[in-house]
Structure 1
Amino acid sequence: MSTVIRGKAKGQGQWALGHREPLNANEQFKKDDDGLNVRARVENIYAHKGFASIDPSDLRGRLRWWGLYTQRRQGIDGGRTAVLEPHELDDEHFMLRIRMDGGQLDAAQLRAVAEVSTRFARDTADVTDRQNVQLHWVRIEDVPEIWRTLEAVGLSTTEACGDTPRVILGSPVSGLVDEPVDVTAIIAELTDRYIGDPAYSNLPRKFKTSISWLPDVPYETNDVAFLGAVHPSLGPGFDLWVGGGLSTNPALAKRLGVWVAPDEVSTVWEGVIGIFRDYGYRRLRNRARLKFLVNDWGVERFRQVLEKEYLGASLPDLAAPPVPDAIIDHIGVHPQRDGRRYIGVAPTVGRVSGTILAKLADIAQRYGTGHVRTTPNQKLLVPNVRDADVPAAVDALADIGLYASPSQWRRTTMACTGIEYCKLAIVDTKDTAAALITELERRVPTLDSPISIHVNGCPNACARTQTADIGLKGQIITVAGKQVPGFQVHLGGGLALHAGFGRKLRGLKVAASELDDYVERLAIRYLAQRVDAEAFAEWVLRADEEDLR
């Protein structure tokens, strides 16, 4: 694909086609120096000379390769987000993402995260929908010590951001339940082999992966996903999906129609990311995700290139497996295959703290084996609890704000970072969502069917707004002639059986101050009009437009 500009064909910056010259500022700084190399400058220069010494290309570029992203300067309202220059939005502190591939932590790792939070991040910690923990208020002077603390227990921040292979999502119950394939070792192989490898540290944009036997990760929103599937003659393996991603141009991943053996996942993953590196579009940042290449090529060509140019072999055909009913969230008390239990708990919109994480480690050691798992829904699991200890463990978790029997509202509401820290955000998300939950629990306590609410501070969909029952995209709206924080509303989105972006109603927006009234009104109408066990997304598709406003 090429674009004609002033009578000349201009390529998309695809390396495989010989277009190696950088076509934008991001591609230029990546060519000038690999993002992985910035660590040495942090340790040898920036940590000693402070924030002012950081080169701009490192500050707003390469530091992301180590999980560091400048956070929003306090006091800047949402209406100025797209007006101010980057240096005017930057605070002299950083957000820090910690990789937790597959979401598995032992007690030492959890305590290390808690220590970093309380010592260096003002006791902040958010569990994200990428199975990460994210910290704030980090100073560049403290980063080397943070790295030492985390790496001493086997954690890292390598490629947690940037145009790199981001954290790999995995089933939070792998190894705990009966499943033909435990993906724990597969994820470990990928991270050990490829994370931090310069061969894949300069991609056109970020690259997101999920690997799970169970449908308990949002596989359709990832660049590449391996979802458990049984081949009629070859046995258990994975169904391969490519080209998912949301943001301002959402796309669900597409099946490639092939079966991947468990011991070939690493090789196939390398082939897919290799295609992205070599054929991905590098001219326009807003068209640089893999989903655009997959859309332009189609799955047949993508499969052909993967097999012929990158694998050197054909993959077995796989007919479409049954579509999962829903994405499993694992909240509550559930049996393990060894007779013990795991407890899934819901922190409010993922917001915790270092203090809470330290207490969680205590609880996990007292009632389990010290292990904790994060989920792609901003939730936490405590595994390996003996049956007799479950009631005490559930009570102890509730005492620190982690609920095993949350309301439907608390269970299904997620929120991104929002204007509190994010330079791209336009509205508050965490506090807005938490207040909304509290109000809805009071107003509509009888909700007995899940209605997911995903609150996002900007159009980038970090909270997966388009795949929620009620997706709220932050923006400044006009009410009675005044500009106020509000949300554009998306209704009826979903994954798995209800995969899609729902129903769009022109001009459907709500002020943040009226959000509780709107959602209450919507929920009551759904409860009154649903037929039998009709899901919210199904009701949305057939409801009168006026009932959705």
Structure 2
Amino acid sequence: MDGGICRVKLAGGVITAQQARAVADVAQRYANGVIEATNRSNLQIRGVGTEHAALIEPLLAAGLGPANAASDDVRNLMLSPTAGIDPYQTIDTWPLARQILASLESTPRFAELSAKFAVQLDGAEALAMLEHHHDLWLSAFVCNGQTLLAFGLAGCPAHDAPLGAVPLAHGHELVMAVLTLFLDVARPEQTRMRHLLKDLSAADFVEQLALRMPVPIAPLTDWRRDQTVLQSPIGTYPQRERGRVHVGAALVLGRLDAAMLNGLAQLASEYGNGTLRFTPWQSVLLPDVRAEDAALLTQRLHALGLLCEAQDPLAHLIACTGSSACAKGLADTKADARHLATLLSQPQTIHLTGCQRACAAAHVAPVTLLAVAPGHYDLYLRAPEHAGFGVLRERNLTIEAAGAWLEARQRSNTDD
């Protein structure tokens, strides 16, 4: 309803200040100026008009496009926003990530993969999105002095046990083998790994995969990804390099405008290393900041309109575009989310979606408000044993009623 969308994929969520300025400029010139951070650490420009070539050419000139047009859709590799700088990391994932991305772009057959087919490479960082489901996920760990990559299919490190592990040195071969095996055995309608695994068991897939690997796939029985040191994407945290920190702040409901993006580019150049790292929590991180500059940088981020307090309820709400810009949206979810935030005394992770497609969230949130009419929502609570959004608890609530219900539940949980 508000025009077209231009999706800008960012390798590992990273964009330089110069590239950010290019995005801001074309969003202002050839669209409505609205830019969104996605839950896959990318950007998208909304309200694109008819001058498509004029918008795209400066982005390509800034290095924001694929190596070839056919490979744009398959550049789906998620890293931690703190890859390479996280003091808790087991490995720096960037060398392997660059190998994988280069192969995704240069292997013609991979263009057959669905635009949704995605890989996650986890280096055991403290800042990591572990709940997004990926067709293939990999997680680094050390066993008996050897660095290994555990892997799983059609799941995520937060909830799923790995199917096996290989030495880090063979990580690229593992990814290539998984992708080619998938293309070899999946039927055309089986576009995602979860579709294939309905017909072919994970054990059978791994058995066939082992025949394509130059090293044995080690079985894993009791390994699980450590989640005890996970950090918030909002705030200031130390990096591996002494005296350097990264500073994170959330975008209000995942949105910014051209002026804000230009402002972020300026701050990255003034205080950091000239890059921004967008995160799957629809926030942004500025790396390589001197520790003594973090407080002033945080003030300037706040002045730009970003959320800099992890306890701000608005920083924990997710909302799709809603009826103001989407024909399928049954409610103005962005406006309703802002209103809901004023009714909550404590942060709660809540997803407001204008329809069943749930475009704004890559995993099921603890609370989902599904629009049924303007300003009215059904309320669901996540439950592992229930598919979809979880258990339906209330129907046709106004935002005020939903806020009251959630506050009462929060008080009850606190009392317990």
1:221 aligns with 2:133: yes
Q: For residue 35 of structure 2, what is the aligned residue in structure 1?
A: 125
Report how far residue 453 of structure 1 moved: 0.9
Correspondent of 2:6 among 82, 92, 96 = 96
Query: When the two structures are superposed, what TM-score results if normalisation uses the length of structure 1?
Result: 0.68
Q: Deviations over 1:331-374 (max 9, x none)?
A: 11111121211111011111101210001111121222222111
Report how far residue 227 of structure 1 moved: 2.0
1:464 aligns with 2:361: yes
Q: For residue 290 of structure 1, what is the aligned residue in structure 2?
A: 193
User: Aligned pair in 2 of structure 1 residues 107, 529: CA closer, same or farther (>3 Å)?
Assistant: closer
Q: For residue 332 of structure 1, what is the aligned residue in structure 2?
A: 235
For structure 1, the 5+ residue unaligned runs are 1-72, 75-92, 246-251, 477-483, 533-549
Q: Deviations over 1:508-543 (max 9, x none)?
A: 3334xx1233133223332234367xxxxxxxxxxx
Report how far residue 243 of structure 1 moved: 1.1
Mapped partners of 1:160, 1:342: distance in 2: 34
Contact 1:465 1:473 in 2 (8 A): no
Mapped partners of 1:456, 1:520: distance in 2: 19
Report the residue type matching 1:349 in the other structure: L
Mapped partners of 2:322, 2:105: distance in 1: 28
Correspondent of 2:150 among 239, 257, 260 = 239
Q: For residue 50 of structure 1, what is the aligned residue in structure 2?
A: none
Contact 1:242 1:255 in 2 (8 A): no
Report how far residue 149 of structure 1 moved: 1.7
Where do residues 56-455 of structure 1 align in structure 2 (5 Å cutoff)? 73=1, 93-143=3-53, 145-156=54-65, 164-178=73-87, 179-195=89-105, 197-203=107-113, 206-213=116-123, 214=125, 216-230=128-142, 232-233=143-144, 235-244=146-155, 254-283=160-189, 288-308=191-211, 310-311=212-213, 313-319=215-221, 320-325=223-228, 328-338=231-241, 339-422=243-326, 424-437=328-341, 439-440=342-343, 444-445=344-345, 447=346, 450-455=347-352
Mapped partners of 1:465, 1:209: distance in 2: 13
Mapped partners of 2:406, 2:16: distance in 1: 42
Q: For residue 525 of structure 1, what is the aligned residue in structure 2?
A: 409
Mapped partners of 1:436, 1:160: distance in 2: 42
For structure 2, the 5+ residue unaligned runs are none
Count residues in correspondence.
Answer: 410
User: Aligned pair in 2 of structure 1 residues 489, 234: CA closer, same or farther (>3 Å)?
Assistant: farther
Contact 1:414 1:463 in 2 (8 A): yes
Mapped partners of 1:260, 1:125: distance in 2: 40
Mapped partners of 2:71, 2:338: distance in 1: 29
Mapped partners of 1:335, 1:204: distance in 2: 38
* Structure with a larger share of its residues in helix: 1
Q: Once the two structures are aligned, what percentage of the paired residues are identical?
A: 25
Mapped partners of 2:238, 2:395: distance in 1: 43
Question: Secondary structure of the residue that 1:467 maps to in structure 2?
Answer: coil
Mapped partners of 1:330, 1:468: distance in 2: 17
Q: Deviations over 1:447-469 (max 9, x none)?
A: 2xx52112223222333375211
Contact 1:117 1:125 in 2 (8 A): yes
Q: Which has the larger radius of gyration?
A: 1
Higher mean C-alpha deviation, range 365-374 or range 208-217: 208-217
User: Aligned pair in 2 of structure 1 residues 376, 457: CA closer, same or farther (>3 Å)?
Assistant: same
Report how far residue 188 of structure 1 moved: 1.9
Mapped partners of 1:433, 1:271: distance in 2: 43
Higher mean C-alpha deviation, range 401-410 or range 331-340: 401-410
Query: When the two structures are superposed, what TM-score results if normalisation uses the length of structure 2?
Result: 0.87
Question: Secondary structure of the residue that 1:417 maps to in structure 2?
Answer: coil
Q: Deviations over 1:432-460 (max 9, x none)?
A: 222322x22xxx43x2xx52112223222
Q: For residue 65 of structure 1, what is the aligned residue in structure 2?
A: none
Mapped partners of 2:372, 2:71: distance in 1: 25
User: Aligned pair in 2 of structure 1 residues 358, 170: CA closer, same or farther (>3 Å)?
Assistant: same
Q: Deviations over 1:213-244 (max 9, x none)?
A: 126123551111112322x2352332212113
Contact 1:112 1:153 in 2 (8 A): yes
Mapped partners of 2:172, 2:381: distance in 1: 37
User: Aligned pair in 2 of structure 1 residues 302, 421: CA closer, same or farther (>3 Å)?
Assistant: farther
Report how far residue 406 of structure 1 moved: 4.3
Considering only aligned residues, what root-mean-square deviation do their CA atoms show, in Å?
Answer: 3.1
Mapped partners of 2:77, 2:47: distance in 1: 25
Mapped partners of 1:362, 1:506: distance in 2: 46
Where do residues 532-543 of structure 1 align in structure 2 (5 Å cutoff)? none
Q: Deviations over 1:21-72 (max 9, x none)?
A: xxxxxxxxxxxxxxxxxxxxxxxxxxxxxxxxxxxxxxxxxxxxxxxxxxxx
Question: Secondary structure of the residue that 2:287 maps to in structure 1?
Answer: strand
User: Aligned pair in 2 of structure 1 residues 475, 161: CA closer, same or farther (>3 Å)?
Assistant: farther
Contact 2:268 2:274 in 1 (8 A): yes
Question: Secondary structure of the residue that 2:219 maps to in structure 1?
Answer: coil
Mapped partners of 1:118, 1:464: distance in 2: 26
